[in-house]
Amino acid sequence: MQPIGVFDSGVGGLSVLQALRRELPQERFVYVSDAGHAPYGERDVAYVLQRSLAIGDYLVRKHHARALVVACNTATAAAIATLRSAYPLLPIVGVEPALKPAAVRSHTGVVGVLATRGTLASGKFKALLQAQSSHARFVLQACDGLAAAIEHDDVTQIRALCTRYTAAMGSFGNAPGAIDTVVLGCTHYAFATHVFHELLGPEVALIEAGQPVAQRTHSLLAQKITYDAAAGVPNVGTGWVELWTTGAVATLQDAAERWLTGSGPAHYVELF
């Protein structure tokens, strides 16, 4: 059974993988954490593009992926158009900050966006922001170091950075002019939702991308009947996960055991 390839700069994409597994429990997934080259959000566009193409090629050539999920906002912004040009017949789904759903959900008309510096500076994000600018006022906050702190499960640093960045954005809540909806514009940030809830209170909604990405992937696969390359039969089977990393395998294994629920995944390491 040909797998769905999923990749991120580190462990943040496990939040998307978890949603994919809930949506598509019968599928096999191969997940690549590019921790040896992280953080993407503080790299230049050319570097992120090069890494994304290398991982995409690896997933297609070695694992015969029948779809790709770019489970990283920064990599989506930098590379998804090029990946789609390179593999025009392959379903490819990216992650982008959920500005439209947040604008629809907001009652005060003020939406906060927490993201990496690379995502906020990208042309793709600027176009998305422009398209929604008439529907809400967006308060943007680059969160340098937060993805790395989550990657290393540095609880003290996570709380300190979440506190610093939310304090810089202004007031939160249901009062006129306050931020009542916050977009988590990096897949890593989903693993800090409990901290954000404590800091911002129950009145503020947090919007992340995992479930919409999973639903979009399901929809694309439903439109395209794909076959196992070796056997020539439709892809059906029992769900299974392989986890690969360019960094320390123990880091990925620890993160998967904390955040990836369900049947126990297999853990591997390959440097490339």
What per-residue confidence (pLDDT) applies to 66?
A: 95
| pLDDT reading at 24 higher than 50 | yes
Q: 99-207 architecture in CATH?
A: 3-Layer(aba) Sandwich (3.40)
What per-residue confidence (pLDDT) applies to 229?
A: 46
Q: Do domains 4-95+210-267 and 99-207 have the same CATH topology?
A: yes
pLDDT band at 114 (very low <50, low <70, confident <90, very high): very high
Domain layout of the chain by residue ranges: 4-95+210-267, 99-207
pLDDT band at 230 (very low <50, low <70, confident <90, very high): very low
Task: Average the pLDDT over each of 113-117, 145-149, 189-193, 238-242 and give the range with the smallest value.
Answer: 238-242
How much is the mean pLDDT over the chain?
Answer: 90
Q: Note whether 117 and 144 are within 8 A (CB).
A: yes
What per-residue confidence (pLDDT) applies to 178?
A: 98
* Secondary structure of 160-186 in HEC code, one letter for each residue: HHHHHHHHCCCCECCCCCCECEEEECC
What count of other Cβ atoms lies within 10 Å of the Cβ of residue 211?
16
Task: Average the pLDDT over each of 48-52, 214-218, 261-265 and give the range with the smallest value.
Answer: 261-265
Q: What share of the chain has pLDDT > 70, as a percent?
A: 91
Helical pair 73-86 and 123-132, crossing angle rounded to 10 deg: 110
What single-letter amino acid sits at 189? Y
Cα separation, 238 vs 234, in Å, equals: 13
Per-residue pLDDT tens digits for 62-81: 999 999 999 999 999 999 99
Q: What is the CATH number of domain 4-95+210-267?
A: 3.40.50.1860
| More confidently predicted of 82 and 263 | 82
Q: Which residues are catalytic?
A: 72, 186
What per-residue confidence (pLDDT) applies to 263?
A: 45
Residue linked to tokens 């089977």: 237
DSSP string, 198-261: HHH-TTSEEE-SHHHHHHHHHHHHHHS--B-TTT-SB-----EEEEEESS-HHHHHHHHHHH--
What's the whole-number mean pLDDT along residues 76-105?
Answer: 94
| pLDDT reading at 227 higher than 60 | no
Q: What share of the chain has pLDDT > 90, as a percent?
A: 73
Give the SS3 label for residue 39. Answer: coil
| pLDDT reading at 9 higher than 60 | yes
What per-residue confidence (pLDDT) applies to 68?
A: 98
Per-residue pLDDT tens digits for 180-195: 999 999 999 999 999 9
Q: Containing H/E element for 113?
A: strand 110-115
Select from 102, 95, 88 the least CA-distant residue to 40.
95
| More confidently predicted of 221 and 229 | 221
pLDDT band at 238 (very low <50, low <70, confident <90, very high): low
